[in-house]
Structure 1
Amino acid sequence: MTFSLVARSPDGRLHGVVVASKFLSVGAVVPAAEAEVGALATQANANLAYRPQGLTLLRTGVAAADAVAGLVTADPGREHRQLGVVAATGPGASWTGPACHPWAGGQAGDGWAAQGNILTGPEVVDALRDAWLGGSALPFAERMIAALRAGDEAGGDRRGRQSAALLVVQRGGGYGGGSDVLVDLRVDDHPDPVTELGRLLAVHTLLFSRPDPATLLDLTGAVADEVAALLTALGHPVADDGPEAALVSWAGVENLEERLVPGRIDPVVLTHLRGVAPHVPAPRSGS
């Protein structure tokens, strides 16, 4: 009922699962991941106990193939299960029980495993694999979405489309650094869930990605003057000592607080500020 990819970033800091299905809220069933430990997808006649059990095995340092073997060997329903696993290191592993509805199968390589059942054919898993391997220039989460999109475009679930989900974990990568959940997005019921999942990831990236230090602008001079004028136009009064306090206030309203850096401004934040503020003439330099 599902096609999925489980993967690890080349540096081992990110693990994730991306999945789509003609099934309500597939993200509530299939994915599980733990930072710097591994990730897994349980599907077909999904065994949700695989999620905590699999992560426990991976936490002890077992390889992905051994985790798969341990889970399915102990499961009397294994012939109806499908499972993909990646560990902290090494190749991924995939299991497809012989009783899964056709077409069903999976492939795995270094740091990834792709699998699916009730698919239009093996070309879906081939497309997942090829897009993942060919997408190394993309950020990790975008690379996973690109692979899912390729599988969807290759035919996907032969019953149609309904839901999709993306889960990515990184140590301290969650909101405010208070969790390891970097991305957790779900499209529970939608006519084009993979496209909608991509849209949600773009919004998530805007709001919650940490800024690139190399692009930050000093909040001084003409930049500070422009930011002050824009914030004032939006009803956020600027103090005599500069616009930083007003910027923090505005960014909290806009949910951009993860992009704030004291004394500086992220160009992404400045672009958004310019886009939402009433037209303000650019400050003149000189007298």
Structure 2
Amino acid sequence: MTYSIVARSGDSLGVATATCTLAVGAAVPAAAPGVGAVATQARTNRAFRARGLKLLRAGAAPDEVLAAFAQEDTAFGERQVAVLDADGRGAVWTGPECLAWAGGWVRPDVVVAGNLLAGREVLEKMDAAFAAHPSQPLADRLLAALAAGEDAGGDRRGRQSAALLVVAGPQDCGWPPPTIVDLRVDDHADPVGELGRLLALDPAAGSSAGAP
């Protein structure tokens, strides 16, 4: 029911997500500088956000984070989770009970994932849009990925909310993390477009570039 991208650029980490349900930013993304980023979706287990960051802080690799979730959550087959650490290593899980089209993949510094999508092309367009402009601020690249996913069909039920979260810095600062960008559109006819309008108003957004 959601499509997300989790990515790193230099010492910046971020998550962008959109869906056809209310307030996706309150449920899906989490990130901490010097630690990593998480997107939890499908039948969302919100506890994965803090738990995932805790495991990354303890030295777990992203695939080990997913293995821990699988052991701890009896409904893991209904979940979809993307994890990226501060070194750009990623992992993704799409449970067999997620609604089609559902899937995701990992490449260095990027994880894309989605469920109940119009098709695989949603994630393909997101990934390509993110890669197209490596020198731009991370927030801009993440927003471009969301827009490309929506143009490719996005959530096949429609659209309602979107969110963008970017943190930066080499040091873990605990919870809640200091954020460069933390924008949420909870209920809107054009949530990704509205997210772009808000990003353009945010004076801190231009500092989220990091070094590609």
Structure 1 residue aligned with 2:189: 191
Deviations 1:186-217 (A, max 9, x none): 00111111011011001003x6756xxxxxxx
The answer (yes or no) to whether the contact 2:32–2:177 under 8 Å persists in 1 is: no
Q: Match of 1:2, as an amino acid?
A: T
Following the alignment from structure 2 to structure 1, what is the Cα–Cα distance between the partners of residues 122 and 185?
Answer: 20
State the shift of 1:36 in Å.
Answer: 1.1
Following the alignment from structure 2 to structure 1, what is the Cα–Cα distance between the partners of residues 72 and 119?
Answer: 29
Structure 2 residue aligned with 1:96: 94
State the shift of 1:132 in Å.
Answer: 1.5
What secondary structure, in the 3-state scheme, does the structure 2 residue paired with 1:181 have?
coil
Structure 2 residue aligned with 1:36: 34
Following the alignment from structure 2 to structure 1, what is the Cα–Cα distance between the partners of residues 8 and 125?
Answer: 18
Q: Match of 2:180, as an amino acid?
A: L
Deviations 1:212-260 (A, max 9, x none): xxxxxxxxxxxxxxxxxxxxxxxxxxxxxxxxxxxxxxxxxxxxxxxxx
Following the alignment from structure 1 to structure 2, what is the Cα–Cα distance between the partners of residues 189 and 125?
Answer: 23
Following the alignment from structure 2 to structure 1, what is the Cα–Cα distance between the partners of residues 133 and 158?
Answer: 26
Change (3 A) 1:170 1:26: same
Structure 2 residue corresponding to 1:143, chosen from 141, 144, 150:
141
What secondary structure, in the 3-state scheme, does the structure 2 residue paired with 1:27 have?
helix
**Structure 2 unaligned spans of 5+:** 171-175, 208-212
Structure 1 residue corresponding to 2:157, chosen from 156, 159, 162:
159
Structure 2 residue aligned with 1:84: 82
Q: Match of 1:17, as an amino acid?
A: V
- Give TM-score, length-normalised by structure 2: 0.91
Structure 2 residue aligned with 1:19: 17
More strand by share: 2
The answer (yes or no) to whether the contact 2:20–2:161 under 8 Å persists in 1 is: yes
Q: Match of 2:65, as an amino acid?
A: A
Runs of 4+ in structure 1 displaced over 6 angstroms?
none
1:119-138 equivalent positions in 2, closer than 5 A: 119-138=117-136
The answer (yes or no) to whether the contact 2:8–2:88 under 8 Å persists in 1 is: no
Change (3 A) 1:127 1:208: closer
**Structure 1 unaligned spans of 5+:** 173-177, 211-287
State the shift of 1:90 in Å.
Answer: 3.8
Deviations 1:98-139 (A, max 9, x none): 000111000111111100001001001111111112221211
Q: Match of 1:144, as an amino acid?
A: L
The size of the alignment, in residue pairs, is: 203
Following the alignment from structure 2 to structure 1, what is the Cα–Cα distance between the partners of residues 88 and 196?
Answer: 28
Following the alignment from structure 2 to structure 1, what is the Cα–Cα distance between the partners of residues 65 and 103?
Answer: 18
Following the alignment from structure 2 to structure 1, what is the Cα–Cα distance between the partners of residues 95 and 73?
Answer: 11
Deviations 1:61-118 (A, max 9, x none): 2221221222123211011000001001142111000000111000111111100001
Change (3 A) 1:209 1:114: closer
CA RMSD of aligned residues (A): 1.8
Structure showing greater radius of gyration is 1
The answer (yes or no) to whether the contact 1:171–1:180 under 8 Å persists in 2 is: no
The higher relative CO (CA closer than 8 Å, separation ≥ 6) is in 2
Structure 2 residue aligned with 1:73: 71
Identity over the aligned pairs, expressed in percent? 50
More helix by share: 1
Following the alignment from structure 1 to structure 2, what is the Cα–Cα distance between the partners of residues 103 and 65?
Answer: 23
The answer (yes or no) to whether the contact 1:171–1:179 under 8 Å persists in 2 is: no
